[in-house]
Structure 1
């Protein structure tokens, strides 16, 4: 890691970023293939920092809930690993895909085993694991409870309009799920897994809540927010490594090059980034680049990393 500022003024850094980011807003394209997301203001912007020492700072629309979409895959992966253990890796890999997040090409070549848990196919395997280990309790209830616990707030919720939109326009995900089921990679009832996944992607929260929820990934598995153990340190290292390698689809290398932090994006325009042993930063700007990552959000995190001196490389 580059030497961080001795005592960064996090609020000053975030305020400056919020003031400077204007020219990059409205440049990207909102995820209009999910109609419910097409209605979001492309000029919206929010950023929040949460430190493992209890420090918090935010700027912009930091209390406005937004659809976290694929950022939910990070929390789902941590929960699935707690429920199933390391055997999960027998069904999903840990390699960058180099293809679009909803591609089916590699699945056919690799007999239904997804490259990593952050592309859609891999996330469906993770969701399948959660569903299979929840018994009478629904998988989405278990995941939502887990995220609420990590953020210490009951306000995190599922937007039913977004969930319905996901389901109505989720034929590619249905294809991925049934294809993997044909190879035995998915083990549970496919409609149940898909319903859980569509609701998972429709979870809404603010950047402030998101930054707090991810803090256990910066603090070796124990959440400073609730002072409770979430997962073990070895697992945190591995999840962060996968975020660095695969968290931004086929632009993960570009994000690592520019920002230098483990991170996970979502097509709702959010990004969660982890600063090991320091804290987390979450950003939201709905306009996306060609890979489905927040355009202004990536710029903001590049500036944040540079100005605070926290690039891991």
Structure 2
């Protein structure tokens, strides 16, 4: 059985593909030349399961998506007190490239706007580091987060530097108030090279899942960041990651997120997963039009909003598995939400099922939310198409709607069925 998650991601993409509003970033020639039809999505769980759909191998530059991860690196290397001494944590309510600092101490208001991001970048690898050494340190760190060697798009970087007057103004302003020590030109070069690191949407999902996983890269298992660093970074993302649209984003989507003008968009759900989309058309706030809509649908369909009461979840949703009278009985437990259903389907895909029938036993399940129910029914439907008989053992009727996508019903086994364990009926 193939897990339905990639097909679900593909369905989300098809549902937002019709959106043709917005336009590609036109102030950087390589971004202006981007294909506006590109559309991809990826999801990575904290258990290291990666799923993707659409243009998932198309590479693009990180741009502002690099900001939260370099901020996390600064926190990891220097600690909270040294970082907060030069950059704040409050939402700005202004555009990402606004020429503004705090009135009292002249710090940038947060690390997600350009002034704050350049300030943070200058902390990496020590304040005395040269441009090349600092950039290489950041590139290697980003590669560890992604689990593969990432490169810098030199063409995009060089092109962007030709139109960097506003960032140069920010850098001179930061130097004037002694927030940064580097030459203003060097600071802008370092920051621009950081933004020119190339990724695909699968890389972004894995990188964001590392934050969601408390700093442990979920595929390689490498411990890269401390949990407290990840908590602080995601907190800042939730209030400032989507610029002056951050408040509306958290109300509607409820996922800590960060966007970039190349069309990338990523989000983290602490303890569960990282999500990413790629579509170059941008709205007036600099966020991907189709990416934003895809995230809205994902959040609503999968119950991912941080304020949702569906966010309770269990670590071990499969209690045990046993073959009884030619039936493969999979006993479930706890709360069935997206994370639990994904884990169950992933394990079922790996099992060498030799029985004629597969039954999901919901006797020890406390709650089933909508996306958990939909995913498990879809998994059963696919198993039926693979030649198995399917059914559920559901004495408390946790699955009230057993209609599958093809209009048929999942069979409910009751105490009239002949399934026995140690002489006792299952129900």
Shared fold by TM > 0.5?
yes
CA offsets, 1:21-63, max 9 Å, x none?
A: 1211x31111101122100011211100011122211111001
Distance in structure 1 (CA, Å) of the matches to 2:170 and 2:78: 22
Distance in structure 2 (CA, Å) of the matches to 1:52 and 1:271: 18
Q: SS of the counterpart of 1:130?
A: coil
Q: Residue 19 in 1 paired to residue 14 in 2?
A: yes
Q: Would the aligned equivalents of 2:266 and 2:277 in 1 still touch at CA under 8 Å? A: yes
Alignment equivalent of 2:144, drawn from 140, 143, 149? 149
Distance in structure 2 (CA, Å) of the matches to 1:256 and 1:204: 27
Q: Report the counterpart of residue 233 of structure 1 in structure 2.
A: 227
Q: Which structure has the larger Rg over C-alpha atoms?
A: 2
Gaps of 5+ in 1: 1-7
Q: SS of the counterpart of 2:79?
A: helix
CA offsets, 1:239-290, max 9 Å, x none?
A: 1010010001100112112211000001111111001111101101111111
Q: Report the counterpart of residue 99 of structure 1 in structure 2.
A: 94
Shift of 1:310: 1.3
Q: Report the counterpart of residue 3 of structure 1 in structure 2.
A: none
Alignment equivalent of 1:254, drawn from 223, 237, 248? 248
Q: Would the aligned equivalents of 1:84 and 1:133 in 2 still touch at CA under 8 Å? A: no
Q: Report the counterpart of residue 190 of structure 2 in structure 1.
A: 196
Distance in structure 1 (CA, Å) of the matches to 2:5 and 2:127: 40
Shift of 1:112: 3.0
Q: Would the aligned equivalents of 2:92 and 2:109 in 1 still touch at CA under 8 Å? A: yes
Q: Residue 50 in 1 paired to residue 69 in 2?
A: no
Gaps of 5+ in 2: 308-427
Distance in structure 2 (CA, Å) of the matches to 1:130 and 1:196: 10
Q: SS of the counterpart of 1:174?
A: helix
Alignment equivalent of 1:312, drawn from 283, 306, 310? 306
Q: SS of the counterpart of 1:222?
A: coil
Q: Would the aligned equivalents of 2:209 and 2:275 in 1 still touch at CA under 8 Å? A: no
Q: Would the aligned equivalents of 1:67 and 1:201 in 2 still touch at CA under 8 Å? A: yes
Q: Report the counterpart of residue 160 of structure 1 in structure 2.
A: 154
Alignment equivalent of 2:260, drawn from 266, 275, 278? 266
Q: Residue 139 in 1 paired to residue 134 in 2?
A: yes
Q: Report the counterpart of residue 71 of structure 2 in structure 1.
A: 77
Alignment equivalent of 2:27, drawn from 13, 16, 33? 33
Shift of 1:236: 1.0
Normalised to the residue count of structure 2, the TM-score between the two structures is 0.69
Distance in structure 2 (CA, Å) of the matches to 1:217 and 1:197: 21
Q: Would the aligned equivalents of 1:13 and 1:307 in 2 still touch at CA under 8 Å? A: no
Q: How many residues align?
A: 303
Shift of 1:209: 1.2
With a CA cutoff of 8 Å and minimum separation of 6, indicate the structure with the bigger relative contact order.
Answer: 1
Normalised to the residue count of structure 1, the TM-score between the two structures is 0.93
Q: Residue 207 in 1 paired to residue 201 in 2?
A: yes
What value does the CA root-mean-square deviation take over the aligned residues?
1.6
Q: 1:219 to 1:62 in 2, by over 3 A?
A: same
Q: Residue 282 in 1 paired to residue 276 in 2?
A: yes
Q: Would the aligned equivalents of 2:204 and 2:276 in 1 still touch at CA under 8 Å? A: yes
Alignment equivalent of 1:10, drawn from 5, 23, 30? 5
Shift of 1:110: 4.6
Q: Would the aligned equivalents of 2:64 and 2:195 in 1 still touch at CA under 8 Å? A: yes
Q: SS of the counterpart of 1:93?
A: coil
Distance in structure 1 (CA, Å) of the matches to 2:208 and 2:148: 13
Alignment equivalent of 1:221, drawn from 210, 215, 224? 215
Shift of 1:18: 1.4
Higher strand share: 2
Q: Would the aligned equivalents of 1:93 and 1:113 in 2 still touch at CA under 8 Å? A: yes
